[in-house]
Amino acid sequence: MSDAADVLQGTLDLLVLKALSLAALHGWGISQRIQQLSRDALQIGQGSLYPALYRLERKGLVKGEWGTSENNREAKYYTLTAAGKRALAAESEEWRRYSSAVDLVLSATG
Amino acid sequence: MRPFRLWLRALFLRRRVEHEMRREMQLHLQLETEANLRRGMSESEARRAALIAFGGIGKAEEAVRDERLTRTLEIVVGDVRYAIRGFARRPLFASVIITLLAVGIGANTALFGVVYQQLISPLPFKDGSRMVHLQSTGAQGTIQLPIAPGLQEAWARSPTVEQMVVVGVGVFAVGDTTQDRPRQVYGAVLPPGASAFVGIHPVLGRDIQPTDTLSSAPPVVLLSDQIWRRDFAADRGVVGRSILIEGVGHVVIGVVPPAYAMPFIDERDIFLARRALSVNATRSDSLLNSPTSDGIPLAKLRPGMSVDDANREMSGLFERWKADPRAAQFVAQLGGVVIDPPRVVRAIDDVRPATREAILVLFAAVSLVLLITCANVANLLLVRAWSRQREFAVRAAIGASRGRLMAQVLTEGAILSLAGAFAGIGVATLVLRGIQASQLGRTIGTASLQPSVLVWCLALSLFTTITFGLAPARFAAEDRMTDALKAGARSQSGGSSARRVRTALVGLEIALSFVLLAGAGLLVRTLMAMGGADIGIDTRDLVSVEVRFPQKRFSLDARRAAVGAIRSHLEALELRDLTISSMTPPRFGIGLGGLQFENRPTRASDSLSAIGFNDVDPAYFARVGLRVTRGRIFQADTRLSTDKNATEVMVNERLARRFFPNGNAVGQHLKYGKLPWSTIVGVVADVDIPGLNDRARSLQLYMPISPVTGRANFVFRSTRPVFKLDSLIRAIVRDAAPGATVGNPIIADELLSGARQTQHSLLQVIGAFALVALCLAAIGLHAVIAFSVGQRTREIGMRVALGAAQADVVRLILRQGLSLSLWGVAVGGGGALLTSRALSSFLYGVHPRDPVTIVAVGALVAVVAVVASLPPAWRAARIDPIEALRAD
């Protein structure tokens, strides 16, 4: 169980970083954006979104700041830091290699 | 940096961070709900769907909190609260433990304070760490050599030395000798600048100035705080007044503060100005040290210079000095001795070895007491942990890890330790005050609670937490969750490992008490041996009174006449065994010089011998009971004769044996220092004060007393009260020899018990510690046996049911107590054999591994073990088998 959770957690961090690379977003916005980008294929377990955000913030990959949303509500907006951008690039590369490797295994015939 | 700031924020702005987190999640839910509404759901449905999508707010919040990494601290705070609540529920338990720890930690802290102040910390003087003096070590021990002319000055000018002062020390008669009772006080003769040298200045009046040293200037004196308060009632008007010192008027110019002490020099009452003297002029005529002519060179090294540098410098100067014509003259004066270069000694290294050892022995003893305290507290906490098994099991069942349980128990220990340490500071203050007020303070000095001592106190509390806290913590973490929840506490094993630990702890307590008891036992044997020792003379009722005849008032003949007059007055008082000597028996003066024998070449090893000397009346030997073992007693004073070997002297057995092992000492000729050649006419027994171990005075030389000496001790036996003798003798001296000064009557037996003072003080402290330790060990043993009887109720009931008599049961339990204590005795006995050597320099007439002491202590411990096991054994014997077997 713990192995699967690690993989998922790592993936979640990557998705969050990717979502934030396009624009600053608040928590709900991030979950919406990921859902939208994955064409509803990925539903973020929202209970684990916030721990992920705090973790990324602690690692200095994202930065959270309180601001006002489009309909005038106080919300905490997250932006990618420079370290976050570097981490996104590195982890995306890592993920691509990993998923294509898994693809290769799965598509093997005989 | 940023993550750390977040962490601090999470720790200290906890509420705000929590609030923000909740707001953020609320907003999320709100936005989700709104989105659902837009999708056409009803309001309640939209909210429900949002909550479902979020998936448990509480869990999410917990997960976020975990990410903040402030958990550990929050747990500690929680543990502390929990522990304090626990103690509040059992105030007696907590206060017993805190009291035990306070005593253990407090006593240890106090003694550490003494160790720190006396042995570690820099001296209280300005630049104390750079202060040194010059020391010469003679063949017989450490004695102050007359400083060679020219050498000392050359060294003072060398690049290693910043400043040097020579301080003279001596005994002075203060007061009008014709009117009231003059007092003999300790004084120092200071050069100008001595106060600046030690960095302490008069609190009243002025310091000694260079002009005070001119021979035309009026003589001046500085008073110590003590004499100012005692004899002048702390009168500020004393400055400017004139007082008589050695019959000469001195103007009081000031009063120095209580702490005005010089390194290497004992406490002084008065300070005189050194007048118009060059550094070494006082030395020339005083090769046999008369007490008023000692000069002690004190110096301050330049910053950055080490003692080794200074010693190297001195060795170089010494080689060059040997070519100086003054050197040959100096050596000749000393009687052809071989001289080594004086040694430079740091003031801080000058603590007397006996003091150092006494301090360290006591420190070791209090450390043993602290260990015993820890063992006792560990035992109590283990019992408590045992009774809390259910609590631990429940906590484990609802998810507390072993680490958490251990942390909880250790936190409780730390809180107890800290409380103990804080209370211990109070105990330490009391202990230090007690030391200061008692005789012990004179032996080991005292201390204040400085910051570094308090740091030690805190370090001790950490140490105790770990030593006594680990066993209960491990017990708490043991996995016996199912056992504890399953059944009543009585029927389970109770953790056999905990029982083993408790047994070991009690054994350890017994062993440590054994070591302390053995130390106390050795000291008891020492004091017995000292009290019964043959010291060479019979001191029963022996009293002596010193009378000094100042040279200014008494010519040689006047002195002779005065001694005779006083003597005949005293004879009229019908004092028993009246006689005269120059030194107070059983003391000796110390002489220094080359010892030469006519028929025996001088060897390097005898070259610089310290000798104990006493000038006595021929009747002295018979009167004080000093045995003449060979030859005869000398004739009355022959010292003024100019004939070679006309002076007759007597030596002690030790001197005779050392230089004439063939037993032919009588008839030999010897010369000591600048004294004339003399003939040994007799050999007498050694006179040694037990416990003083005075190597410098172990070779003893007796000469006929002569008026040359300038003082006489009237020695006699009397049982009259000292104050009566005092006034009688003062009256006699005032009539018979006006102008002479009288010392206080000294009782020989009091001198002897004074020499036993260190052992007495050590015995008091170590003995008290040993008794406390034995009590703690007995309590610990009792608790363990009682506990085991409680656990064995069923078994004992079974035994009784099967026919065991009450006596059998008692024997069974006593055997358990005895066998437990026996291995404590075995370990303790081994420990005592290994450690008793630390006491050896305080022992007299008993070997450090004295079998009598070891056996006696072993027997005592065994008896105490049996007594401690008796109550539980008794309880066991009265167990009703029917009750016991029905209990479960």
- Report chain B residues whose CB lies below 8 A from the CB of A27: 24-25, 27-28
Say yes or no for a CB contact (<8 Å) between B3 and A75: no
Token output for B321? 């000095």
- Which residues, 6+ apart, have CB-to-CB distance to B842 below 8 Å? B354, B357, B358, B361, B523, B526, B691, B758, B759, B762
Inter-chain CB pairs, A–B, below 8 Å = 64
Task: Determine the Cα–Cα distance for residues B358 and B765; give it in Å rounded to an integer.
Answer: 11
Sign of the CA dihedral running B286, B278, B296, B243: positive
Which burial class, exposed, middle or buried, applies to B129 when counting CB atoms under 10 A from its CB (0-12, 13-18, 19+)? Answer: middle
> Among A27, A55, A66, whose Cβ lies nearest the Cβ of B67?
A55
DSSP H helices in B39-157: 43-54, 57-67, 71-89, 91-115, 151-156
Most confident of A54-63, B285-294, B469-478: A54-63
Tell me: ipTM over 0.90. Answer: no
Token output for B478? 């043991």
Say yes or no for a CB contact (<8 Å) between A50 and B20: no
- Which residues, 6+ apart, have CB-to-CB distance to B403 below 8 Å? B477
Model pTM score? 0.69
* Higher-scoring residue by pLDDT: B879, B489: B879
- Report chain B residues whose CB lies below 8 A from the CB of A26: 24, 27-28
Token output for A65? 């700041």
Q: Is A38 on the interface with B (CB under 8 A)?
A: no
**Would strands B609-616 and B220-223 be described as parallel, antiparallel, or unpaired?**
unpaired
- Which residues, 6+ apart, have CB-to-CB distance to B666 below 8 Å? B630, B631, B680, B681, B682, B683
- Report chain A residues whose CB lies below 8 A from the CB of B55: 45-48
Token output for B66? 């975990």
Q: What pLDDT band is residue B7 in, cutting at 50, 70 and 90?
A: confident
Q: Kindly report the average pLDDT of chain A as a whole number.
A: 82
| Residue-wise pLDDT tens digits, B428-474 | 999 888 887 777 777 777 777 878 888 888 888 888 888 788 888 88
Most confident of B11-15, B386-390, B807-811: B807-811
How much of chain B, in percent, has pLDDT values that exceed 70?
A: 85
How far A14 CA sits from the closest chain B CA (Å)?
A: 17
- Report chain B residues whose CB lies below 8 A from the CB of A70: none
Say yes or no for a CB contact (<8 Å) between A51 and B27: no
| Residue-wise pLDDT tens digits, B829-881 | 999 988 888 888 888 888 989 999 999 999 999 999 999 999 999 988 888 88
Q: What pLDDT band is residue A85 in, cutting at 50, 70 and 90?
A: very high
Inter-residue contact B191 to B207 (CB < 8 Å): no
Under the phi-then-psi rule, with left for phi > 0, alpha for psi from -120 to 50, and beta for the rest, what region is B546? beta
Min mean pLDDT across B99-103, B609-613, B777-781 is at: B609-613
Inter-residue contact B645 to B669 (CB < 8 Å): yes
How far B44 CA sits from the closest chain A CA (Å)?
A: 20
Tokens 């270069």 belong to which residue?
B341
- Report chain B residues whose CB lies below 8 A from the CB of A75: 24, 27
φ, ψ dihedrals at B744, nearest 5°: -75, 145
Say yes or no for a CB contact (<8 Å) between B69 and A58: yes
- Report chain A residues whose CB lies below 8 A from the CB of B56: 47
Inter-residue contact B659 to B601 (CB < 8 Å): no
How far A48 CA sits from the closest chain B CA (Å)?
A: 6
pLDDT score of B681 more than 90: yes
> Among B31, B53, B68, whose Cβ lies nearest the Cβ of A54?
B68
pLDDT score of B793 more than 60: yes
pLDDT score of B656 more than 80: yes
> Among A28, A51, A54, whose Cβ lies nearest the Cβ of B32?
A28
Say yes or no for a CB contact (<8 Å) between B67 and A45: no
pLDDT for res B282: 36
pLDDT score of B126 more than 80: no
Say yes or no for a CB contact (<8 Å) between B67 and A46: no
| Residue-wise pLDDT tens digits, B707-720 | 777 788 999 999 88
pLDDT for res B278: 33
* Higher-scoring residue by pLDDT: B257, B578: B578
Inter-residue contact B170 to B184 (CB < 8 Å): no
pLDDT score of B782 more than 60: yes
**Would strands B647-652 and B678-684 be described as parallel, antiparallel, or unpaired?**
parallel
pLDDT for res B68: 75
Q: Can you state the angle between helices A27-37 and A2-22, rounded to 10 degrees?
A: 100
Gyration radius from chain A CA atoms: 15
- Report chain B residues whose CB lies below 8 A from the CB of A51: 60, 63-64, 66-67
* Higher-scoring residue by pLDDT: B7, B251: B251
Q: Is A74 on the interface with B (CB under 8 A)?
A: yes
Task: Determine the Cα–Cα distance for residues A81 and A65; give it in Å rounded to an integer.
Answer: 12
Inter-residue contact B718 to B543 (CB < 8 Å): yes
pLDDT for res B288: 28
- Report chain B residues whose CB lies below 8 A from the CB of A60: 2-3
Q: What pLDDT band is residue A76 in, cutting at 50, 70 and 90?
A: confident
How far B13 CA sits from the closest chain A CA (Å)?
A: 16
Provide the 10 A C-beta neighbour count for residue B363: 18
> Among B25, B27, B56, whose Cβ lies nearest the Cβ of A73?
B27
Distances (CA, A) of A36 to A29, A33, A41, A71: 10, 5, 8, 21
pLDDT for res B11: 74
Please give the single-letter amino acid code of residue B347: A
Interface residues from chain B to A (CB-CB < 8 Å): 2-3, 6-7, 20-21, 23-25, 27-28, 31-32, 35, 53-57, 59-60, 63-64, 66-69
| Residue-wise pLDDT tens digits, B402-440 | 888 888 888 888 899 999 999 999 999 998 888 877 777
Long-range contacts of B348-351 (CB under 8 A, 24+ apart): B348/B122, B348/B123, B348/B128, B348/B129, B348/B131, B350/B133, B350/B263, B350/B264, B351/B118, B351/B119
Choose the mutation target among A46, A56, A61 for the interface with B, i.e. most B CBs under 10 Å.
Answer: A46
Going by the DSSP 8-state scheme, the letter that residue B600 receives in this structure is: B
- Report chain B residues whose CB lies below 8 A from the CB of A5: none
pLDDT score of B725 more than 70: yes
Inter-residue contact B543 to B720 (CB < 8 Å): no
Read off the pLDDT of each residue in B637-662 and give the average, rounded to a whole number.
Answer: 80
Say yes or no for a CB contact (<8 Å) between B60 and A51: yes
φ, ψ dihedrals at B670, nearest 5°: -135, 160
Closest CA to A30 of A59, A2, A1, A57: A57
Say yes or no for a CB contact (<8 Å) between B60 and A50: yes
A 43-62 residues with CB < 8 A to B = 43, 45-48, 50-51, 54-55, 57-60
pLDDT for res A71: 75
pLDDT for res B803: 86
Read off the pLDDT of each residue in B105-110 and give the average, rounded to a whole number.
Answer: 90
Q: Kindly report the average pLDDT of chain B as a whole number.
A: 81
pLDDT score of B289 more than 60: no
Min mean pLDDT across B108-112, B291-295, B387-391, B590-594 is at: B291-295
φ, ψ dihedrals at B195, nearest 5°: -65, -45
